[in-house]
Amino acid sequence: MDFGIIGYPLGHSYSRAFFTEKFQREGIDAQYHNFPIEHVDELPRVLSEFPNLRGLNVTLPHKQAVIPYLDELSPEASRIGAVNVIRIDRSEGKPHLKGFNSDIIGFVESLRPLLKPTHRKALVLGTGGASRAICVGLEGLGLEWRYVSRTKREGAFTYNELTPSILQEYPVVVNCSPVGMFPHVDECPAIPYEALSEANLLFDLVYNPEETLFMRRGAQYGACVKNGLEMLRLQAIASWEFWTAPNP
């Protein structure tokens, strides 16, 4: 069996190491491949070249663009409007592709233990495919949320509009943007870090580096910080369930 991940670039991807170790540890006869495709229209070629491919993870920039190539969506993926797991069923000959979203599973289970009663509102930095799942996850945890965007859009703050009072009202800040991801480790989202305190919780979906500048600057002012590594591991576990369960 073959499994893999599509995205571009894939230098930051942790998934191949995770699944390769899992296959070796559990004696599973399978391989996990990186497919660094710049354009999602290369997906049919990947499916053709790897006839034993049974599942794919999907990362930036394809989480939304891949949807037209799928035959079916799970209810969660449909609601979120983004896919990061594809189950490939070849039992009828022609590949049947079903999309899922494990971002929400990994995020909710990773964030939940850190929440305090005062954490009732959250800022979501970035408006891409990953942020859609985060917003649904926040709602499931009972938190209100608002986007923070580089450009003005209805219902969202811009980075220039963020004030100390907003960071007090929205004490949870989730970075869903790639800002600060390797190799750009000297960058961070442009929020007023000096306004943070021990009342704030900063969650960074980035996991490479393990301590981003966003986290480091937040911790400097007393905020609780966490990266996306545990979220990634939980996502990977959920991916395997989607790929191998009889009727996911």
| Active site (annotated) includes residue 226 | no
Beta bridge partners of 172: 122, 201
Which tokens go with 32? 């996990």
Degrees to nearest 5, angle at CA 204 with 33 and 197? 165
Q: Any idea what DSSP says for residue 91?
A: T
The crossing angle, in degrees rounded to 10, of helices 103-111 and 129-140 is 50
What is the distance of C-alpha 62 from the center of its chain? 12
Which tokens go with 206? 């980035």
| Catalytic, out of 22, 63, 98, 116 | 63
Beta bridge partners of 3: 32, 55
For CA atoms 129, 135, 137, 140, the dihedral sign is negative
Residues catalogued as catalytic: 63
